[in-house]
Structure 1
């Protein structure tokens, strides 16, 4: 009898050794930031963010986002946030900077959880995990967009934001960045009365997409900067470093990249610092 069981036991033990071990439980109180990867979270021991004071040309956006994040950290009512608009104008940088400043003022009160690109469908699992943590969290979904034929993803996001059985836990607020206020791309046929789809009201199609954006209590727009704001952003970075530049050089740098934006300004400053032998 024992001899008959031995091979099975050996096989079972071998399979157990080959099977991946369960990921360790996440300590949701120990780190300033995390990356949620679907089955678990990876701790980020140091949240890298520019000082909020260095972000120029977006003063109104800074105030609105920072104040909302601060309210969440103190346990006051706070909104889910949609940061939308021109690429390179500091949407993600502002969110990280606001969270970092709040964390510096109230250590341990607030955590940032960024969602990995392929982990969006697992958000209910994350909400369940965070619901028992004695801490507030900003759930960060960067550069969100849905495929034109994806009808499920937008509906699930609406449910998470408001009213669904999988809605985010009360100690969490979503912060989403997107290039469009509606998040979903609009098709020309939606507003084309000659598209051939007589059963669909074009206004209804647009309203349905905007309904997703309407679920965010705080919607903050970012717009392309003009020449004056672009130079102001550059100086916001160069002045603390003591770096000299001419307006013509800064504008030529932007012209070569085809846009004036906060990202382009920072790249120009990195170039200046590199030439001067300064580490950033």
Structure 2
């Protein structure tokens, strides 16, 4: 029995050696990669975040790639992206077998069959999933909201403070920018322009506060707030020249009239003109 086991062991070693010799890429004799069964059909609404899942066991030192079946080139290989589309990335948490394809702000044109594949000189392993993208529901579009708050009238030398609050549909917009006269605004300490941003995952909002200290007349104009998902709004701000005051000047006009009314005798008394310039009369008893 022991001789039989020894013989099998020797034959196994010989087989592995021969396999390594004929296939240099199998020197480490890694097990064949295997896809873990996952969802194969996905449906998203336009504008949503699409996540196509792929999990591979026994990957070894091989690479996982994603491609759209109708396209020639790959979308991703490993964690690298090979298309000029910032919406496309790969989610690979360290230490896991997950290689999920992420498509942000998915479009109807993204509909199609996608391949998660592991390539080697021995064979190509493929895992196909179907992505369907439907048009956005007009009712849900109302969930999007963007508004600018702040004082539309500011005295010269005072602070212009505008707050832009934007809400996303499934998650907060990734970015929010300010524009004035078509030019993008950024924090500029020399010009006393300060921009700060805050994001709330729970409320799906991003907030940006624009402060311009010591406002000048040139700071008057229309300020535009725009998010990465193309929500846009604007607010006009007037800068008032506080050095000029509208002063109401009241002129006291005094008319002096020479009284011509003669003194009047009565049983009550006598009326005399006491002050001809003010035209005031009094009764003297």
Please report the TM-score for the alignment, with normalisation by the length of structure 1. Answer: 0.20
Greater helix share, 1 or 2? 1
Greater strand share, 1 or 2? 2
Higher relative contact order (CA 8 A, sep 6+): 1
Please report the TM-score for the alignment, with normalisation by the length of structure 2. Answer: 0.19
